[in-house]
């Protein structure tokens, strides 16, 4: 095996992938799946919408940049002095895309042929920024239209209304795309400043899953990526009070059936949650009102919810909220039912049967991800950026006890929750 290549394997799952410390400074992961006809690649950086205040090593002052600049930068990277990256991908037949979340930005493609050329394009355009004031002004108009579209999307707005009700200062409450006003302040100089800080290879990772091998990926990386010295920087997330802003916020958008999101604020202000913490919270939410829970069946039969009802442990760098979402004509009644279930568990604990059902159900869901190369690449990147490997999640399921899950629920304070309603 080549120097700098480490095999990561899990014998009980009969799965393995490879971690590569590339000479450029980039961390690369390759998971060969020879029985798959397609290949999926994801090139990501630990840079998202919450990263609006940073300071390079050696600088005295923090740089404050406009909200939405990470998303704006994602859009701009597809452009070049010559061909747009999407046009280049069309020639290889690859299906390319990108996304910006709260704490990361990722560029990706899926292909069934011409993998090597497609990977060359991905690595090339992400590492070759080209911004001018003229193209920035043009993009401001395009992204302005996107912002207006999301302002009219009730599913998007119910989340950000909740985040505004939960957080006083945390930038996670700001729309990922920013505002019309904030993006008007973006300049080519600011884009280069953010790019040179956060798109340093030491802050990035590449994951390739599917019909590809380690040697081919290394060969292409050697050809396209130039070595970089690591860039060190500090990021700031403002101090956040322990209590929520409001226990209930309503907005009127004229929807047929009200949409709601109920979230519980956690005392989490720095770093990311561990694999065990995330698994514990997921099992806790499933026990409270998951798809096979008694409460879910009861609320469904009583017409309080429909099949859109779901839960999520919404977490990332510096934020974490257990959330229940759905549609209901009676969102306050749904909230009260969830409160009652939480109080019941706090008083009596979780039954062995309920714990085992949730644990096995969610474990099986994780196992199914190995049949999807898109999910696998996404999960590898996600785990690496959170500080653990792909198999840590499965090991966490073995370690977790009923008491661990009960402790999560005991920390869910209904007095420190917020109900967001779009009427």
Return the axis-axis angle of helices 373-386 and 392-399, rounded to nearest 10°: 70
Return the structure tokens found at 125: 């355009």
**3-state helix vs strand vs coil in the chain, percent to 5:** 45, 20, 35
Beta strand 417-422 with 248-251: parallel, antiparallel or unpaired?
A: parallel
List 15, 57, 74, 399, catalytic entry: 74
Query: In which residue are the tokens 């549609």 written?
Result: 327
User: In angstroms, rounded to a whole number, what is the distance separating the alpha carbons of residues 383 and 27?
Assistant: 13
State in Å, rounded, how far the first CA of the chain is from the last one: 59
In this structure, the dihedral spanned by the alpha carbons of residues 285, 288, 292 and 293, taken in order and rounded to 10 degrees, is 170
Q: SS3 for 316?
A: strand
192 by Cβ neighbours in 10 Å (0-12 / 13-18 / 19+) ranks as middle
Query: In which residue are the tokens 């069946």 written?
Result: 297
User: In angstroms, rounded to a whole number, what is the distance separating the alpha carbons of residues 416 and 246?
Assistant: 9
Beta strand 259-264 with 417-422: parallel, antiparallel or unpaired?
A: antiparallel
313 by Cβ neighbours in 10 Å (0-12 / 13-18 / 19+) ranks as buried
Return the structure tokens found at 93: 């037949």
| CB of 299 closer than 8 Å to CB of 326 | no
Give the CA radius of gyration of the chain: 22
| CB of 95 closer than 8 Å to CB of 103 | no
Type and span of the H or E element at 221: helix 214-224
Residue 74 appears among annotated catalytic residues: yes
Catalytic (active-site) positions = 74
């Amino acid at each position: 095996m080549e120097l700098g290549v480490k095999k990561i394997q899990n014998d009980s799952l009969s799965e393995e992938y490879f971690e590569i410390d590339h000479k450029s400074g980039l961390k690369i992961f390759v998971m060969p799946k020879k029985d798959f006809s397609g290949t999926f690649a994801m090139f990501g950086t630990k840079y998202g919408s919450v990263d609006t205040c940073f300071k390079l090593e050696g600088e005295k002052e923090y740089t404050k940049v406009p909200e939405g600049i990470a998303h704006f930068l994602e859009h701009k990277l597809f452009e070049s002095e010559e061909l747009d990256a999407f046009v280049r991908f069309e020639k290889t037949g690859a299906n390319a895309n990108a996304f910006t979340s709260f704490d990361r930005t990722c560029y990706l493609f899926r292909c069934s042929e011409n993998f090597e050329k497609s990977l060359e394009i991905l690595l090339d355009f992400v590492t070759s920024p080209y911004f001018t004031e003229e193209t920035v002004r043009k993009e401001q108009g395009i992204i302005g239209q996107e912002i207006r579209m999301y302002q009219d999307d009730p599913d998007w707005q119910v989340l950000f209304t909740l985040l505004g009700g939960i957080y006083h200062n945390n930038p996670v409450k700001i729309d990922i795309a920013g505002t019309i006003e904030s993006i008007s302040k973006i300049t080519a100089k600011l884009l280069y400043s953010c790019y040179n800080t956060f798109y340093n290879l030491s802050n990035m990772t590449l994951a390739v899953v599917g019909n590809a091998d380690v040697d081919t990926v290394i060969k292409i990386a050697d050809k396209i990526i130039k070595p970089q010295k690591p860039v060190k920087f500090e990021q700031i997330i403002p101090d956040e009070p322990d209590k929520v802003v409001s226990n209930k916020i309503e907005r009127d958008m004229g929807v047929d059936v009200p949409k709601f999101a109920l979230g519980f604020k956690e005392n989490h202000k720095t770093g990311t949650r561990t694999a065990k913490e995330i698994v514990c919270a997921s099992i806790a939410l499933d026990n409270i009102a998951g798809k096979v829970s008694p409460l879910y069946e009861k609320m469904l039969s009583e017409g309080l919810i429909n099949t859109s009802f779901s839960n999520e442990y919404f977490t990332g760098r510096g934020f974490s909220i257990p959330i229940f979402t759905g549609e209901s004509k009676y969102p306050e009644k749904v909230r009260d039912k969830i409160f009652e279930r939480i109080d019941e568990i706090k008083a009596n604990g979780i039954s062995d049967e309920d714990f085992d059902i949730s644990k096995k159900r969610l474990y099986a869901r994780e196992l199914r991800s190995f049949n999807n190369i898109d999910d696998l690449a996404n999960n590898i990147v996600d785990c690496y950026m959170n500080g653990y490997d792909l198999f840590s999640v499965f090991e966490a399921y073995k370690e977790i006890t009923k008491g661990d899950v009960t402790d999560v629920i005991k920390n869910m304070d209904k007095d420190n929750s917020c109900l967001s309603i779009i009427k």
